[in-house]
Structures are given as C-alpha cells and as structure tokens.
Structure 1
Amino acid sequence: MTKNNATIVEKVNTHIVNWLKNYATAARVNGFVIGISGGVDSALTSTLCAQTGLQVLCVEMPIHQHKDHVSRGREHITQLKNRFPNVSSVETDLTPVFESFKSQVPADFDDAKLQLTLANTRARLRMTTLYYHAGVHGLLVAGTGNKVEDFGVGFYTKYGDGGVDISPIADLMKSEVFELASFLAVPDSILKAQPSDGLFGDEKTDEQQLGASYDELEWAMLAAENNESPANYSDREKEVYAIYQRLNKANQHKMNPIPVCSVKNL
C-alpha cells in the first residue's frame, strides 16, 4: 500500500473482507473467533472479519494482564459491537488456569528461560481457548500476525498465537496494518499505543524485546529480500540488519513446514 492513498487502502480492505467471506463460506462455518489483546493487529483483524457480516466472536483472555491492555481491548470491543450487529464478545479469565499449571510443573530453572517459557505458555493457553470457542460455535480462528512477525523475524509463539486457521493480515507490513486500521477507525488509544505482545504482564514493548522498531525491521526485511549489501549502511542500519538476520535464522523452525522423516525410499 501507499501512504495516504485512500483508494489503495480501500481496495485492500475490500479484497481481504471478500477473501475472508469466501473462505468461510467454502468452509461452511458460521464466522470467526479472534483473541483481542488491546493491540492494533487484533483490532484490525476483528474489524476486517466484522465487515463480512458473518458471526464474529471477540474473546478476552486475561492472564495477569496489564490494565492498559485490558482497557484498550474493551474499548475496541465496545466500539466494534456498536458498529456491527454480528459481533459478540466473551471473557475467559485464564489467570487461575495459568497459576494452576505453574503449580504442577518444576520451576527451578534459569530465570530468563523460565520467564520466556511461561510467556509462551500463556499464548498456548489462549490458543486452546480460542479453539474451544471455535469448536462450540462453528467458527474459524483468525490469526492476527503481520508480515514482519510471521515471515520476517518469527515474533510469535509456535502453537500459540501462531496456531490459527487463517491469516488475513499476514501479507501486510506493520506500517500497513496501522494504515488500514486508521482507515477503519480503530480507536486512537490503540493506534497510539506502543506495540506489545502482553505476554509478560507488563508494558514491555515489542521494540524492547526485539531490539529494533517495526519500521527498522521492515527496512531490513526488504533489504534482505533484495539481497542488498550492508557495506554502505550506517552503524545503526548494520545493527538492525544483524538483528533481523539473527532472528530470521533462529526462527526458521516456525516459518518452515514441520520436518517429516521419509521412509519411502528405504
């Protein structure tokens, strides 16, 4: 998409909405279920799904959630339900489930590894919850990952927020997500908030976790796709490019199909 080009943005919106509706109709399901985090990706995805006219269930799944994430998510759900009669919502408080799980597993490990593993556990509990709601209502789980996260740096949890049926915004860069979300009147509180996965119960931003902003990572992703040489980059550009390359290589196990050991030629 091109910045400030309303015609192109509207065309992308219409294309994704039609794609969603056609896919759901062919799959003979009733609509979509989306986990609402208070972030721009889930806000955009749910708004796109709502435009299909099919059933849309927005699910809040707090696990020691930061109050700002909760308030932004609820503001978005309220707005979406006021705009679209096909949207409903439900809250499934997973904090007791998470605490019960923690009480049943050993915890005497390196703290950094333990905290990351528990963060991923949160995402996997949420995936299980979304598929429960999808199953009982006959819905598809709509993914909320964008292009940089899903195919650039692999910034998602395998079998967590990466466990979905369809990915409507996975061909959009983060900047394009913001552009389309703004066009669709997603609340300003979400558009202005620093992106955060909310998996650590605080306001730790994605940029703090990744070491680079989404704008920087978009640049690095395009540079890598174009096989550009970093020889003439500034010091910061070289640093960002190295971050992108490291994350992209480390997370190939998320982006590539599961390896299958073939025995047919034995």
Structure 2
Amino acid sequence: FRMLGSNESIACANVFLNTVVAEELSQFADLLEKSSDFKGALHDLILKTIKEHKRIIFNGNGYDDSWVKEAEKRGLYNLKSTPEALPHILDEKNVKVFEKFGVYSKVELESRFEIHNENYSKIINIEAETMLEMANKFILPAASKYANKLAETIGLKKAACGECDTSYESAMLKKVSALTSSIYSKTEKLEGEVLEAKKTSDAGDSSKTAFFYREHVFAAMNELRLCADELETITPKELWPFPSYGDLLFSVR
C-alpha cells in the first residue's frame, strides 16, 4: 500500500482496509473454531493461505518496471488511475463483504462510486483550467518577451558589427520560438479537451466522464507541461513568471 494524497482523509482508506481484514479474520475464525485439533488446523491454514496468496509477496524494487511485468505474470491487478480502480468498488464480492459487516449497503457504495468519480473529474477540471490560465496569461507572454529580446540582441549586434557572431542568440531564438509554438498548440488542444469533457459530463455518466478526464484532459496537460518545463530551463530567471523549484525548495526570503 502507499500513503494516500495529502488532501485526502485517512478515514475512507481505513474503512476499506479494516473491512477487508475483518473478512479475512472471520474466515480464519470460522475454520479454526470448528476444528477439534486447533494446532493442526492452524498449521494447515497457514500453509494453505501462503500457497494461495504467496503471489502478492514481493521483496524487490516495487518501483521498477520489472515488477510491473512480474505482477502481470502473477495475475495481480495494476490499476494505474482512479477511474480504473473505482468501478471495482461495485464488484459483487466487494459489495457482499461490506453488506456482511453492515459497513455499507450496495446503494451506499453506488453513491460513493458516483461521488468519487465526480470529485475526480472536478479536480482535474480545476487543474486544467488553472494550467490554461498559467499558459495563456503568463508563460506564453514571457516566452514571447524573451524571443523579442533575443531578436533585438541579434539585430543590435549585427548593426554594431556585421561580423559579430550571433550563433548563440539565433539558436536560442529558434529553440524558444519552437517551444512557444508547441506550447501554444498544446494549450489549444487542452482547451478543446476540456470543452469535450464538459460535454461528456452533461451526459450524466460520471464514470465515463472520469475516464475522459484521465485519458484526454490529463494526457493533454502532461504534454503541455513537458514543453513548459523545457522552456523554463532556458528562460532567464527575471523573465520567468513563476518561482522555480530551486526557489521553492532552497530560497529563504
């Protein structure tokens, strides 16, 4: 297991984990309480449990791609996103467990399924809208300003000395211009995906909407970020409109 996000309450995760543990202990208790030979039954239960569930034990590097392949080979789930994971809350076996212990009814689980899907979509939408504002109001104007300064420098150097080398400025101008163009096109793409996501949301299928945000909006956000991150590495500090990671981590003002 991994720690949940900092903005999430631990209560929900604990409810699910505690219910799962209660179910397993209940199964163990049912077997052991009926046995006339407790130690023998316990020994057999431990062996049986390890044999049946040993595939979940992995003591290597859980972050390495080799574990992803190994997990697939073992038949384990690898749910990489919230929209992929949420539908399993309504799997028949899971519903039965929650109803067995009186934790949630099927209707309550369906309600939580809808709420979590809607919450996921709303958060991605807010982040996408924020990203668009950052790109349109700050990053693109800063990039244009830097390109203008480079062009002015090239012109001034050539005017002052026709033989002056402007290879650095010319190369940087080409790179900044290319990244600016890419950021602009990816911003346009993200705007389009956000609009499509809102249309999907109007259809009333929360799960379908969440998947659309994950597969289209979130993907477009990643594409835009890659270009913006690269532009940040070559833009002078005084022109970049946001604090750098270095500023955030190491600057004391």
The two structures have a TM-score, normalised by structure 1, of: 0.25
Which structure is higher in helix share? 2
The two structures have a TM-score, normalised by structure 2, of: 0.26
Q: Which has the larger radius of gyration?
A: 2
